[in-house]
Amino acid sequence: MDSTENQEPSQEELFEHHKFIGAKGQEPLRVDKFLMNFIENATRNKIQQAAKQGHIWVNDAIVKQNYKVKAGDEVKVMFEHPPYEFLLTPEDIPLDIVYEDDTLLVVNKPPGMVVHPGHGNYSGTLINALVYHFDNLPSNSSERPGLVHRIDKDTSGLLVIAKTEAAMTHLAKQFFEKSSEREYLALVWGNVEDDEGTVEGHIGRNPKNRLQMIVFPEGDQGKEAVTHYKVIERLGYVTLVSCKLETGRTHQIRVHMKYIGHTLFNDERYGGDKILKGTTFTKYKQFVENAFKILPRQALHAKTLGFEHPVTGEFMRFDSELPEDMVNCIEKWRSYAKHNDQ
């Protein structure tokens, strides 16, 4: 008697969700551990489940969870439903719209809001809100409606959204040619010695931890990245800095500031959620932990955004206030610095 019950799904019936290539020099590593390093918010259990269902492919062959990935291997994770980017559900989420006309809008994104759907964040994103509030937003090459650029989930601040294909092309070109203006405010660990400076260093994926980016000082890997910083206020063991971007690489400010020894305050991914500077007194430890509670994310805000309007040609500049969590955290450090002359 024929039975189809235990048949593995054919590749034609599945949709590719993630594809990774084993990097040069990749030590043999179990595919479940390999994917844990790559896919944000993925649990080992979920990955092992995908393996059991025959949804992990290496070089176009289904593999078990103990397969060891080698340099040059093409690893795919596939599922029976399309990727969530293609299942964009409109959601009635309020937007803080700073400016809007027929061709674009500028929004102030709150901390904690993911910009677009992805693994582990399939709803509640800025894109879900945009497709609810606006019809026929143009798609970019990644099928993300209206999105010209993005900021991390736990970074707050300004984003420009295109409403037409022409605006999308025009704005994307400005970001590519570095003619747009982007200024961020960051609270970083340590006393930044120079009043201002420039960090230059190619940024690419950390081969040891694929969820992190790192600087490749020789410039032999990654992409060119340039950040100009300026000290705004020195607060003892932390410093408030302004960072202007010439390029827009993933985690650029977070990576560049860590590279020069000033990790962002409470940046969990890059180690800023540890006490990196200060005294050994118990009271200080308690103070920092309280500051982490006030600001439960990396201390980064996209404050200023400037670009040329795609239709009028006018250069427009928008500014946003620091969100309450950052204001309160800075105020706490200001008070500490005042009462603890160092």
Distance CA 147, CA 138 (A): 8
34: tokens are 């390999």
Do 304 and 329 fall into the same domain?
Answer: yes
Do 297 and 212 fall into the same domain?
Answer: yes
pLDDT surpasses 60 at 288: yes
Collapsed DSSP state (helix, strand, coil) of residue 341 = coil
Average pLDDT, the chain: 88
pLDDT surpasses 60 at 12: no
| Annotation says 152 is catalytic | yes
Quote the pLDDT of residue 278.
Answer: 93
Quote the pLDDT of residue 318.
Answer: 98
Is 6 within the bounds of a domain?
Answer: no
Do 323 and 194 fall into the same domain?
Answer: yes
Is 45 within the bounds of a domain?
Answer: yes
How buried is 244 (Cβ within 10 angstroms: 0-12 exposed, 13-18 middle, 19+ buried)? Answer: middle
The answer to whether the Cα torsion of 125, 128, 129, 135 is positive or negative is positive
For residue 78, what are the β-bridge partners? 16
**CA-based nearest residue to 155, from 38, 336, 299, 2:** 299
The number of residues making up the chain comes to 342
Identified catalytic residue from 152, 154, 267, 273: 152
Name the domain boundary from 133, 156, 176.
176
Q: What percent of the chain has pLDDT over 90?
A: 62
pLDDT surpasses 70 at 132: yes
Is 193 within the bounds of a domain?
Answer: yes
Is 4 within the bounds of a domain?
Answer: no
Q: What percent of the chain has pLDDT over 70?
A: 88
Quote the pLDDT of residue 6.
Answer: 33
Is 170 within the bounds of a domain?
Answer: yes
Do 159 and 233 fall into the same domain?
Answer: no
Do 151 and 207 fall into the same domain?
Answer: no
- Band of the pLDDT at 143, cuts 50, 70, 90? low
Longest Cα–Cα distance in the chain = 84
Do 194 and 330 fall into the same domain?
Answer: yes
Q: Which residue has the higher pLDDT, 196 or 24?
A: 196
Do 289 and 226 fall into the same domain?
Answer: yes
Collapsed DSSP state (helix, strand, coil) of residue 190 = coil
CATH of the domain at 62: 3.10.290.10
pLDDT surpasses 80 at 43: no
Is 3 within the bounds of a domain?
Answer: no
- Band of the pLDDT at 120, cuts 50, 70, 90? low
Quote the pLDDT of residue 33.
Answer: 85
What pTM was estimated for this model as a whole?
Answer: 0.78
Do 151 and 267 fall into the same domain?
Answer: no
Do 188 and 331 fall into the same domain?
Answer: yes
Name the domain boundary from 81, 114, 133.
81
Do 322 and 191 fall into the same domain?
Answer: yes
Is 248 within the bounds of a domain?
Answer: yes
Distance CA 203, CA 254 (A): 11
List, in order, residues 6 or more apart from 249 with CB less than 8 Å away: 203, 213, 222, 223, 225, 255
116: tokens are 């677009």
Do 226 and 170 fall into the same domain?
Answer: no
pLDDT surpasses 80 at 1: no
Full residue range of the structural domain in which residue 134 is found: 85-176
Ramachandran angles phi, psi of 300, nearest 5°? -145, 130
- Band of the pLDDT at 300, cuts 50, 70, 90? very high
Do 106 and 252 fall into the same domain?
Answer: no
CATH of the domain at 189: 3.30.2350.10
- Band of the pLDDT at 32, cuts 50, 70, 90? confident
pLDDT surpasses 90 at 225: yes
Q: Where are any strands of DSSP class E within the chain?
A: 15-21, 29-30, 56-58, 61-62, 68-69, 74-79, 97-100, 104-109, 156-162, 181-189, 196-200, 202-206, 209-216, 226-235, 238-245, 300-308, 315-319
Q: Per-residue DSSP letters for 196-254?
A: EEEEE-EEEEETTEEEEEEEETTSSSSB--EEEEEEEEEETTEEEEEEEESS--TTHHH
- Band of the pLDDT at 27, cuts 50, 70, 90? confident
**CA-based nearest residue to 158, from 137, 174, 180, 190:** 180
210 alpha carbon, distance to own chain's centre: 13
Quote the pLDDT of residue 201.
Answer: 95
- Mean pLDDT within 244-270: 96
Is 329 within the bounds of a domain?
Answer: yes
Name the domain boundary from 138, 157, 176.
176
- Band of the pLDDT at 185, cuts 50, 70, 90? very high
**CA-based nearest residue to 9, from 61, 71, 55:** 55
First to last CA, the chain: 82
Number of domains composing the chain? 3
